Structure 1
Amino acid sequence: MKIFSYVLGLLLMITSCENSKHNQLFLDFKEKGVDALLPDFSYAGYKYGETSVPTEKGNEYDVTDYDIYPDIDTDQIQKIQALVDSVGRNGGGVIFFPKGEYLFNAIDGERNFLSIDYSHITLRGEQGTQFVKCQTLIQLEKEPWLSPAIIRVGNKIQGSEKFWGLDSKYNSGTADSCEIYHPDYLVSLKESARKGSTQIITENNSFINSGDFVLVAMYGQKDDESLIKRILSPWKEFESYMTSALESDEKSMPSYQWLVEVEQTKGDTICLKQPLRETIDMKYDPVVAKVPMLTEVGLENIEFTSRWNGHYCHHGCEGSINREALIMDYGWNAIQFVRVAHGWISNVKIKDYVNPIYILDSRNVTIDNLVLDGANGHSGVKFYSHACDNLLQNAVFKASYTHMVSLEGNAYGNVVRKIKYDTEGNVSRGDFDFHGFSYKSFSPPSCNLFELIEGFGHITGGGALENLPHTAAKNTFWNVSLDGLKNGDDVFQYWVYEFERFGSRKSYDDYKYFPGTILVGVKSTQGELVIDKRKDTWNKDWIYVDRLNNSVSPLSLYEAQRNYRLKNNSAAKK
């Protein structure tokens, strides 16, 4: 018994020593769970990070068996589209492209892109496989920022002419007349559900089944209990130009919209695959909408190149006509995953594209081993609209983008990690980007994690004035090296302050436009960083900062949280 007590005490002492090395915020997370300041980022990625992306061949279709050959100077897109549709109708499979060039959108005067509209489809290449985009796919007539990519997954579920989601309760237009696409099935909740719960009770969920995906939403109200002010706390009075925020409660906008997977249903109860990120309160008339999604779609071992001339200026160069400016910003897009769950983009190189990757209204997509190269462009990787719990890791940026990694709209729980901006031969600074509301009935990105990133510059953002501020709360930067900043540079940059037409800068409170941001272990190899011209004192009501200009443990918050969750799950099953 004495030996047992000694060993137990030794183990407890070792555990205590290990924990003492960890940052207090992480220790609080382990102790308090959903009541801690740190969100749980461990659900990001394919199958919630619990299994690897599949690599087996399954039913494999070699394109050369279907009269599709590399290195032919003709457009291949119609033949490839026919094969993708045939494989999809027959349950899916792996479509293999031997090495060589395959031309896309090469017919003069036409606009064609490859649309993957079935689940269980993988496009797989090998070393030397190249997809070449020959012409722009800009859509000038409507929403040019949603112009298609050369490969667009989910286009039949959701077209490129509008955003998708819930609009104001007072919008009584038909589906065709509304400004955005909206869900077909909607049901109200019966009672509130606390943050951390995995169950919500509805008035009728007969149209929702296990494995479905739903949008959980709350509407703003015309009273003192403002939903948008809760989301954008500690903002109490918005700037006069922030019309999306100012009108959110007045027009009963569904500012909170979270895309999540259903584990199972029991009567009127929906059991979710992960805990609620926020308390769903009946005072905000909460609803659940069914969301059709594609699953198990992958792109592997492919290099995307283009015949774009590489001439880029953000929103056009001096003297550019409108069409030229729009093409520079949105005309050369490589990959778009739209309404995809549990998909992947692996071992892909993208060269000479304005916008390499959009993840739009999708969740649990893993992007792994990515290289972005060639001419500089607009947005490197963008998590758009209701993009939730996606994972970008092991990426090298050799090209620079105005917005290196960008988040916009109700983007929650995404994790961006192990990213390096290789500045050799590229003098342009690369910044983190938050683009605010995206659409007036949405709200800015919240609860996203950035860790183990080298070479980037400011935490900043773009977006129209009406869609500011840039973020909602708890976007977390953990062990990030902002090597694009030099000694004395501010971590944050609010773009409005940088333009004289909005008046001269009166303060350095840029951080207020990124409310609730969490900074832990943020530093630069080029010197000491500041916030609001200070190294150690700032308004702690607005942001949380710990160990500025230092590193912290655990090195990876994502891995530590995921391992902690999986260990607890394993223990619970015993």
Structure 2
Amino acid sequence: MRLLNNKTLRAISVLCSLTFVPCAIAEVAPLWLQFEAAKANGDEPTLPDFSYAGYDYSESELPDISSWAVFNVTDYGAIANDENYDDQAIQLAIDAAQNAGGGVVMFPAGRFLVSPNETVGENIFIRASNIVLKGAGAGDNGTEIFKVNKKVNNGEYIFEVSPTSTGESVITTVVANAQRESFEIVVADASQLSVGQRILLRADSVELAQSYYSPLTIRSEWTRLLNDGFNLREIHSIAAINGNTVRLREPLHISLTIGSTPIQVRSYNMINNIGIEDIRFKGNWDSYPEDFDHHKDDIHDYAWNALRLDNVENGWIQNVEFKDWNQGIYIDGSAALTLRNITFTGKKGHMSIHTRRSYGVLIKDSADHAGHHHGPGVGYWGCGTVYLRYQMLAGQNIDSHSGSPYATLFDNVTNGHLSNNGGPHESYPHHGKHLVAWNMTLEGGPDSYNFWSASRNGHTFAMPYFIGLQGKSVTFTEGTYSANELLGQMAEPASLFEAQLALRLGSTAPEQPEETEEPEQEPEGETGGEQQPTEETPTPQPNQPNASNTSGGGAIGGLLLTLLMVLAATTKINYITRRTGN
């Protein structure tokens, strides 16, 4: 998506210098150009294709549930704004919807109390497909589900969503190497596979760990990699079968190399079309008389946990607030989920969102105002996770929670930093290959990063990629990162996820950004700090000439600005024509 070619850029630069017109041509990231070219030529792109994330991999809108059967919790005994607990009534409404083959479990406005005791295991469960929990809005006059009493146990959440059985069975094995970002695998016997089937590619291989991380050194403290190997858990669906060649709907995010440990193709049981929307979930962590202290005890870490999804595909959570929780949303072994317009408020707790062993989870247009200890998170062999326009509290950190998650995109994530990642030391590194930060804004954290350090609770990422990194100026240790393009400025396209999705679905090119004053370049390895306007050079407003333009550029400056707009428009038209073939 090159906006202007190099000769045109140089010519405009000369004209700008002659006429005193400050120019700002949005620069396209070289890694985006490489991705475009690789896709056009059928080659392996450097960056993963993150567009296979979200409900139905973002190929369709969320379901219209207006015609679904409605099961109002008040018809099953729940009463808003009273002093009685509504767990049983809510479960009865869910069970009725499940027995009917699906439906909307409706909550009217008001507060509903849950968790009448501290007994671990007494939660509210969704076990079947096509169930939506829907409230009357997450605001003050909407629906609030209030968990009163704590249930102190790691892994226990008041709402738990999963199929009754999550067992797996080996169907066949992969028998030929397959390149990352490709779509085909060759198996020993495809007779028990079918189009549309969900499968799990699974292997626990020390050999894979060594080849995957080479030439990086696996440290002796990282015993799970050294002893148990890389735990491949990549979820896929079958698009086509030709003999023993299986075409996947979504790309591999890791290369498959045949070695001494077989790569198994397993059955994988999932429920689908699970939705949660327009509800405020309220914990009671704010009533506890201590501020959060990480790992002080299980109460601080796990007392009030909200929502857990296991083995869910094509699900969504939208327009939901989580207030005063120790842990918010935990996602495990799931695929093709969309979380949007999620907010975390109230008292700081342990974790906001964490996804692991999953494929293609999209979290977008959300914010953590509580500043939970573990910010937007991934972990344990998950891949294809996308955080898009996620706002952290100032100085909060992302959380790559060890266990070698890979192919993660932080796209237009703001206000946070990259250090203090969690997870047990034996499960390091924090992240495998292809962590990508695109137009991310740093705030807080350390002044320098060595991404393959032996330090605890740091940032061991395997050769990450940074494009358009802005905010706090930091330095990176050479040899520990793959790229650091367009330092201190917005990269084009503005969103990698949205550009990749538009490219895949054949949409028109993303809109060009407004012209802004081009920041000075920082030395390689540093991000550019924010530029401060001076009295001598007032900050120009968008689409308005700077004072120096009007006085020094005169008619030539105006003609040049017109020329720039014509050139940009012509280039965009040519680009769209080339993309669409029209």
Q: TM-score range by the shorter chain?
A: 0.7 to 0.9
Aligned to 1:125: 135
CA RMSD of the aligned region, Å?
Answer: 3.0
* C-alpha distance in structure 2 between counterparts of 1:388 and 1:137, whole Å: 29
Q: Which moved more, 1:128-137 or 1:564-573?
A: 564-573
Structure 1 residue identity aligned to 2:408:
N
Aligned to 1:514: 461
Gaps of 5+ in 1: 1-10, 159-181, 318-324, 424-428, 438-443, 500-509, 533-537
Structure 2 residue identity aligned to 1:208:
L
Q: 1:465 aligns with which of 409, 422, 425?
A: 425
| Mapped contact 1:131–1:303 kept (Cα < 8 A) | yes
Task: Summarize deviations over 1:423-456 as a string: whole Å, max 9, x none.
Answer: 4xxxxx310111211xxxxxx0111100111111
| Mapped contact 1:98–1:126 kept (Cα < 8 A) | yes
Structure 2 residue identity aligned to 1:454:
T
**SS state of the match for residue 343, structure 1?**
strand
Aligned to 2:380: 409
* C-alpha distance in structure 1 between counterparts of 2:118 and 2:503, whole Å: 55
Aligned to 1:217: 202
Q: 1:47 aligns with which of 56, 81, 88?
A: 56
Task: Summarize deviations over 1:186-228 as a string: whole Å, max 9, x none.
Answer: 421243333344232323344433322111134526xxxx311
Structure 1 residue 151 and structure 2 residue 159: aligned? yes
Q: Which moved more, 1:375-384 or 1:544-553?
A: 544-553
Structure 1 residue 563 and structure 2 residue 478: aligned? no
| Mapped contact 1:85–1:118 kept (Cα < 8 A) | no
Structure 1 residue identity aligned to 2:147:
K
Q: Which moved more, 1:265-274 or 1:254-263?
A: 265-274
Q: 2:475 aligns with which of 507, 517, 530?
A: 530
Aligned to 1:276: 252
**SS state of the match for residue 322, structure 2?**
strand
| Mapped contact 1:335–1:356 kept (Cα < 8 A) | yes
Q: 2:306 aligns with which of 334, 342, 346?
A: 334
Q: How do residues 152-167 of structure 1 correspond to structure 2 at under 5 angstroms?
A: 152-154=160-162, 156-158=164-166
Flag the 1:110–1:313 CA change in 2: closer, same or farther, 3 A: closer
Structure 1 residue identity aligned to 2:280:
E
* C-alpha distance in structure 2 between counterparts of 1:86 and 1:332, whole Å: 27
Structure 2 residue identity aligned to 1:79:
A
Flag the 1:83–1:269 CA change in 2: closer, same or farther, 3 A: farther
**SS state of the match for residue 447, structure 1?**
strand
Flag the 1:530–1:183 CA change in 2: closer, same or farther, 3 A: same
Task: Summarize deviations over 1:119-149 as a string: whole Å, max 9, x none.
Answer: 000010013101111122223xxxx3x2x21
Flag the 1:63–1:436 CA change in 2: closer, same or farther, 3 A: same
* C-alpha distance in structure 2 between counterparts of 1:91 and 1:266, whole Å: 34
Flag the 1:568–1:199 CA change in 2: closer, same or farther, 3 A: farther
Structure 1 residue 299 and structure 2 residue 246: aligned? no
Structure 2 residue identity aligned to 1:411:
G
* C-alpha distance in structure 2 between counterparts of 1:560 and 1:462, whole Å: 31
| Mapped contact 1:460–1:495 kept (Cα < 8 A) | no
Structure 1 residue 262 and structure 2 residue 238: aligned? yes
Structure 2 residue identity aligned to 1:188:
T
Aligned to 1:135: 149
What displacement does 1:240 show? 2.1
* TM-score, normalization by structure 2: 0.77
**SS state of the match for residue 301, structure 1?**
strand
Flag the 1:207–1:232 CA change in 2: closer, same or farther, 3 A: same
Structure 1 residue 229 and structure 2 residue 239: aligned? no
What displacement does 1:36 show? 2.3
| Mapped contact 1:315–1:326 kept (Cα < 8 A) | no
What displacement does 1:230 show? 2.6
* C-alpha distance in structure 1 between counterparts of 2:307 and 2:64, whole Å: 20
Structure 1 residue 245 and structure 2 residue 225: aligned? yes
| Mapped contact 2:284–2:325 kept (Cα < 8 A) | no
Flag the 1:13–1:497 CA change in 2: closer, same or farther, 3 A: closer
**SS state of the match for residue 330, structure 2?**
strand
* C-alpha distance in structure 2 between counterparts of 1:295 and 1:451, whole Å: 26
Structure 1 residue identity aligned to 2:271:
L
Flag the 1:265–1:81 CA change in 2: closer, same or farther, 3 A: farther
Structure 2 residue identity aligned to 1:247:
N
Aligned length: 486
* TM-score, normalization by structure 1: 0.78
Task: Summarize deviations over 1:96-128 as a string: whole Å, max 9, x none.
Answer: 110011111114657521110000000100131
Task: Summarize deviations over 1:299-353 as a string: whole Å, max 9, x none.
Answer: 0000000222353444444xxxxxxx01211221111111101100000000000
| Mapped contact 1:475–1:517 kept (Cα < 8 A) | yes
Flag the 1:314–1:361 CA change in 2: closer, same or farther, 3 A: farther
Q: Which moved more, 1:206-215 or 1:341-350?
A: 206-215
Gaps of 5+ in 2: 10-23, 509-575
* C-alpha distance in structure 2 between counterparts of 1:494 and 1:342, whole Å: 35
* C-alpha distance in structure 1 between counterparts of 2:278 and 2:451, whole Å: 37
| Mapped contact 1:458–1:493 kept (Cα < 8 A) | no
Q: How do residues 341-380 of structure 1 correspond to structure 2 at under 5 angstroms?
A: 341-380=313-352
Flag the 1:197–1:110 CA change in 2: closer, same or farther, 3 A: closer
Task: Summarize deviations over 1:243-294 as a string: whole Å, max 9, x none.
Answer: 112224xxxx453221112224455443311122233222252210111001
* C-alpha distance in structure 1 between counterparts of 2:4 and 2:151, whole Å: 61
Flag the 1:216–1:316 CA change in 2: closer, same or farther, 3 A: closer
Structure 2 residue identity aligned to 1:294:
I
Flag the 1:133–1:435 CA change in 2: closer, same or farther, 3 A: same
Q: 1:30 aligns with which of 30, 36, 49?
A: 36
Aligned to 1:432: 398
* C-alpha distance in structure 1 between counterparts of 2:163 and 2:90, whole Å: 16
* C-alpha distance in structure 2 between counterparts of 1:19 and 1:88, whole Å: 55
Structure 1's consecutive aligned runs of 4 or more residues displaced over 6 angstroms after TM superposition are: 11-20, 492-496, 568-574
| Mapped contact 1:523–1:529 kept (Cα < 8 A) | no
Structure 1 residue identity aligned to 2:225:
A
Q: How do residues 49-68 of structure 1 correspond to structure 2 at under 5 angstroms?
A: 49-57=58-66, 58-68=68-78
Aligned to 1:164: none
